[in-house]
Structure 1
């Protein structure tokens, strides 16, 4: 297996304890005058009110303005008194069960430094823009190295308004990712196409949405189109060769202190997977279903989520350039999680993930660490949470693999077992 790639992958696994979906920044609290608990359980997870805030385009609470008029009362100036700025620091310590290849058995890292421009710009337009410095540590022979990259990690600009009776919220989202701005922080994908688009800095899209509230019910619908930015040339890989289509439906019911949501999503796109792809592109289709339950009552918060996704691919370009054994490929992913939080300070979380994919001797080679030529992986993560303050979180996580790179034992042909990749991680997350 490529050692550097493997080590960076393990580092990415350590980063999994650091939340990436949804939106949780102090500039929203400063804007609304509400404590973080109004919108979040254990951030970034949203409460029902937090989801309404997101659907409002981050504009609830308004903004304090400096305004000026001329002698005739005509507006000449309207500026926000304060810029909606916030920052975030994320650090971790990771201990891997066994040293594999040249991987570090333990590492300490300042994983991410984030700067946010997040909040209302006008009464109908809000933003969530994240400039991120991220670091990945790897080992090259006997010398340790660290890579750092500063880039726009998330860009969301939303326009939102309501009908006169207030029952229907409608809006338009400009975003660089299909699912980051989801009100339920759902990642109902099989981990291929969605991951590719979410990690790309060269994708932009428009997504109109509707949210209709009737009684204790909320019905949400979204349709978005996304396209790779810049000119697509033959030397670029994993670029969209046409518009990607994303659709999302969700229904939420609130009853007493509880809420229940069920939803579905579909993402379709054509990607140029390899340099010089004579057949043009591969066709991807991700279909997902998801559900989430929340119970919030005083000192007690309970949450649970479940998602299923299937990824089907027509490997036209990959197969034509002899990069895959088969012309088609499919994989499924199941993810489940449960959270209990006491007094918004102490919590425990359990997460389960299972990935199953078809065997392909060229996509998943022995040289890459797949002795079975399959990507199958199964893991369970146990996390202890401590939040001394609403904007500070300490997480202790133990991640256990029962299957890795397609097998439980000797997954890479070098006698390495799935459990060798088990890891203990301590993470610090601070927002201000």
Structure 2
């Protein structure tokens, strides 16, 4: 262990204690997590390590079923809350501060406070909808929305779950933990630098679109989904605080963007696996503009495996690859790119182990690479989008099991995460032309995450 990392680990305890006080104050209402209350199941039934969002096979089927499975009891209000307190330290301070009102390094924050409408709304209708207050931006905004209608049907000799999802982020509705919305890491710092390039499917449209998709889960195996997304008006996005700067021209989805998903999921009780394909085809142009558009065509493959055994020792593997083809007619025409055609490739792979539904460790590898364009990627020295590295996380979830203290009110996960970069925004050394290196963005991140 290097002396610098040793000093940072020594100070993280003091920082996390301060964060714990903030998080516990935020969760003083002691409300019951709505899904657990609705089903009568412990959080460990749906989530690996007794805390979300990594799903077990039961959790996968609960989501596909429209969040409507219950123990038959009445009068259960589908409300929950969440608080995330964090401490962030980077290899080198960020000039000008990590964010407004924050220092250049070693920052403590109450990163998120969220209210959820999450659970059964009717016999066949359920919801996962979230409003989040950011303690860093100091504003509340409409966050994830996934409202579903689902039911069981017979198709000849086959049984099926058929459903419809209304949501505001492609892959948010996906039941597996391999695609961008729900893959590891499940919590990251809003006060640390992040790579500048990612496929559109990886958060490029989140919360600025509204989509409807229909899906079918056939014979507890084949999963298929098809739908489309449309852009939301800029004035409405300003009112719900999704767009923070009304003077920013931004880019809006033009027309309907088709989205499709095909997968196979098999639950063998002691283990489970999934394989899948996904695609998104979208055109973007400036708000209020009827001129040329940029065209993004994303295609991905993914797979996962879980060994569950007797639930004492649980292992999981997951990975995805997304390739994006970009046709940048609008950006090229306005002088924002040197080329009309570019490509971007994104790899992600993770492995996790959880013991006794309480202790967990996860390792992730990530790699983003693409074609050179000195203007389009003008914020770095090389004109390349390449970033790669590793993330290692250890976490402890003392509450969330049926036998836990305070069950089912108390749900807490504490974790320490370290991300190190081999390359960042195109290079290992001096990637931005000011002498900053990839390792300067290495991030030690501590968090306390409560659900209530």
Give me the TM-score of the superposition, normalised by structure 2.
0.79
Q: How does 1:135-174 map to 2 (within 5 A)?
A: 135-136=135-136, 147-164=137-154, 167-174=159-166
Q: Among residues 414, 419, 424, which one is paired with 1:394 in the alignment? A: 414
Shift in Å, 1:195: 3.8
State the secondary structure of the residue aligned to 1:340: strand
Shift in Å, 1:86: 0.5
Shift in Å, 1:428: 0.6
Q: Distance in 2 between matches of 1:177 and 1:260?
A: 25
Q: Distance in 2 between matches of 1:397 and 1:250?
A: 31
Is the contact made by 2:178 and 2:319 (CA closer than 8 Å) also made in structure 1? Answer: no
Q: Does 1:108 align with 2:118?
A: no
Query: Which residue in the other structure is 1:283 paired with?
Result: 295
Aligned length in residues: 375
State the secondary structure of the residue aligned to 2:63: helix
Which deviates the most, 202-211 or 184-193? Answer: 184-193
Q: Does 1:191 align with 2:198?
A: yes
Q: Distance in 2 between matches of 1:300 and 1:181?
A: 28
Q: Distance in 2 between matches of 1:38 and 1:337?
A: 21
Evaluate the alpha carbon distance shift between residue 261 and residue 195 of structure 1 in structure 2; reply closer, same or farther with a 3 A threshold. Answer: closer
Q: Among residues 282, 286, 297, which one is paired with 2:309 in the alignment? A: 297
Is the contact made by 2:158 and 2:218 (CA closer than 8 Å) also made in structure 1? Answer: no
Is the contact made by 2:150 and 2:164 (CA closer than 8 Å) also made in structure 1? Answer: yes
Q: Distance in 2 between matches of 1:226 and 1:427?
A: 34
Shift in Å, 1:418: 0.6
Q: Among residues 325, 328, 337, which one is paired with 1:312 in the alignment? A: 325
Query: Which residue in the other structure is 1:221 paired with?
Result: 224
More relative contact order, 1 or 2 (CA 8 Å, 6+ apart): 2
Q: Distance in 1 between matches of 2:112 and 2:247?
A: 33
Evaluate the alpha carbon distance shift between residue 346 and residue 234 of structure 1 in structure 2; reply closer, same or farther with a 3 A threshold. Answer: closer
Query: Which residue in the other structure is 1:177 paired with?
Result: 169
Is the contact made by 2:305 and 2:317 (CA closer than 8 Å) also made in structure 1? Answer: yes
Q: Among residues 283, 289, 296, which one is paired with 1:270 in the alignment? A: 283
**How big is the alpha-carbon RMSD for the aligned residues of Structure 1 and Structure 2?**
2.2
Unaligned runs of 5+ in 2: 1-31, 98-103, 182-196, 236-245, 401-410
State the secondary structure of the residue aligned to 1:50: helix
Q: Among residues 215, 221, 244, which one is paired with 1:209 in the alignment? A: 215
Shift in Å, 1:27: 0.4
Q: Among residues 34, 54, 58, which one is paired with 2:63 in the alignment? A: 54
Q: Distance in 1 between matches of 2:288 and 2:329?
A: 13
Evaluate the alpha carbon distance shift between residue 428 and residue 241 of structure 1 in structure 2; reply closer, same or farther with a 3 A threshold. Answer: same
Q: Distance in 2 between matches of 1:421 and 1:363?
A: 22
Shift in Å, 1:62: 5.8
Unaligned runs of 5+ in 1: 1-24, 66-80, 137-146
Shift in Å, 1:123: 1.1
Is the contact made by 2:384 and 2:426 (CA closer than 8 Å) also made in structure 1? Answer: yes
Evaluate the alpha carbon distance shift between residue 172 and residue 289 of structure 1 in structure 2; reply closer, same or farther with a 3 A threshold. Answer: same
Is the contact made by 2:271 and 2:307 (CA closer than 8 Å) also made in structure 1? Answer: yes
State the secondary structure of the residue aligned to 2:112: strand
Shift in Å, 1:253: 2.1
Query: Which residue in the other structure is 1:9 paired with?
Result: none
Query: Which residue in the other structure is 1:77 paired with?
Result: none
Query: Which residue in the other structure is 1:4 paired with?
Result: none
Query: Which residue in the other structure is 1:261 paired with?
Result: 274
Is the contact made by 1:114 and 1:130 (CA closer than 8 Å) also made in structure 2? Answer: yes
Q: Distance in 2 between matches of 1:400 and 1:48?
A: 31
Query: Which residue in the other structure is 1:37 paired with?
Result: 44
Give a deviation string over 1:33-70, Cα, whole Å, max 9, x none. Answer: 011111111321111111111011000116644xxxxx
Evaluate the alpha carbon distance shift between residue 343 and residue 297 of structure 1 in structure 2; reply closer, same or farther with a 3 A threshold. Answer: same
Which has the larger share of strand?
1
